[in-house]
Amino acid sequence: MTTTLPTNILTDKQREIADFYAENGYYVYPDALSTDEVQQLRDEVVRICAGELGSIGGKGVSGRLEGESDDELLRRFLCIHFPHKISDVMFDALAHPAIVETLTACISPNVKAMQSMLFIKASGKPGQAWHQDEDYIPTRDRSLSGAWIALDDATIENGCLWIIPGSHKPGILWDQDWHADKRFDCSWESQNFPYSDDEAVPVEVKAGTIVFFNGYTLHRSLPNVAKSGYRRALVNHYMSAESFLPWHPPRPNTEADRMGMAKLDYRDVVVIAGTDPYAHHGYETRQTAFVRPDGKGGCFNGQTELEYDD
């Protein structure tokens, strides 16, 4: 069987985007979403949290509690994984034209998505410590890219992204350690990389902006210390469709042993541009939407709502 892959003829704008992204490891696309598109996604966030689109797995309590307001509801969630599994609006956002335009320039004419995450991050919620997304999603071909869609204005105060420009270039995955820093969600933190915090730039953006970043780019976010409100963002992850994705290998003594890791190809993916050369491998459902446990009863002795002095 032969597969015809589309050739990539880039517009001048796409070339500019690709050059900036290659040099800096990120790209900020302002006004990528209209006000109406942002509002539609915000409305969907409430429906997801209220359980109107089906129950969400994980340790968090999903679904609206008796008498609970939208604000009280949203404040219970830091992050929901794989919202596109229950929401058509989030699913459609995977292939937003601004995302297709950018990633077909920066990655490949053939692009697949494997993950979505919905950060709600109300005031008082923690940030995410330094990491590279490739630590979690092993593409290995350096094509992994996050598309971070701002659903609120993101500011230093409410916990915007911080990025170390150019940190993707060595293509090295820095060692990680479990951190004990209460500013951050309980997780691993990248250590001993040759950059200082002073080199990081805050990515303050307006709602409707998309921040694209490479899977090897070091990034973090600080806690939301605003007095009220949220710092909502829908983050989708993508890679070149030409590469296998050895993610979530099956249990021992099954496919991984039989085929070897190099042949493993996670197939719970959505093709958002071009052609999938491995379409004949088929597709499967491995994930369902779930609430990320944000530390309650975990690494911070149950403390996740951070207290700040005025």
Ligand X SMILES: O=C(O)CCC(=O)C(=O)O
Q: Which residue of this chain has its Cβ atom nearest to ligand X in the complex?
A: 221
Q: Does 233 bind ligand X (CB under 6 A)?
A: yes
Q: Does 123 bind ligand X (CB under 6 A)?
A: no
Q: Does 127 bind ligand X (CB under 6 A)?
A: yes
One-letter amino acid identity for 197? D
Q: Does 133 bind ligand X (CB under 6 A)?
A: yes
Instruction: Tell which one of 48, 200, 235, 239 touches ligand X (CB under 6 A).
Output: 235
- Smallest separation, CB 6 to ligand X (Å): 28
- Smallest separation, CB 11 to ligand X (Å): 27
Name the segment binding ligand X (CB under 6 A); options: 26-34, 125-133, 261-269, 302-310.
Answer: 125-133
- Smallest separation, CB 306 to ligand X (Å): 14
Q: Does 139 bind ligand X (CB under 6 A)?
A: no
Q: Does 25 bind ligand X (CB under 6 A)?
A: no
Residue list 239-278, contact with ligand X (CB under 6 A) = none
Cβ-based nearer residue to ligand X, 10 or 299: 299
Cβ-based nearer residue to ligand X, 51 or 298: 298
Q: How many residues bind ligand X (CB under 6 A)?
A: 11
Q: Does 115 bind ligand X (CB under 6 A)?
A: no
Q: In 25-155, where does DSSP find H-type helix? A: 35-49, 70-74, 88-93, 97-106
Q: What is the DSSP string of the chain?
A: ---PPPP----HHHHHHHHHHHHHSEEEETT-S-HHHHHHHHHHHHHHHTTTT---EESSPPSPPTT--HHHHHTT-SEEE-GGGT-HHHHHHTT-HHHHHHHHHHT-SSEEEEEEEEE--BTT--BEEEE-GGGTS---SS--EEEEEESS-B-TTTT-EEE-TTTTTT-----EEE---TTB-SSEEE-S-S--GGG-EEE-B-TT-EEEEETTS-EEE----SSS-B--EEEEEEEETTS----SPPPTTSHHHHH-GGG------EEEES--TTGGG--------EEPP-STTTTTTT--S-----
Cβ-based nearer residue to ligand X, 87 or 187: 187
- Smallest separation, CB 146 to ligand X (Å): 5
- Smallest separation, CB 107 to ligand X (Å): 17
Residue list 185-204, contact with ligand X (CB under 6 A) = none
Q: Which residues would be at the binding site for ligand X (CB under 6 A)?
A: 117, 119, 127-128, 133, 146, 161, 219, 221, 233, 235
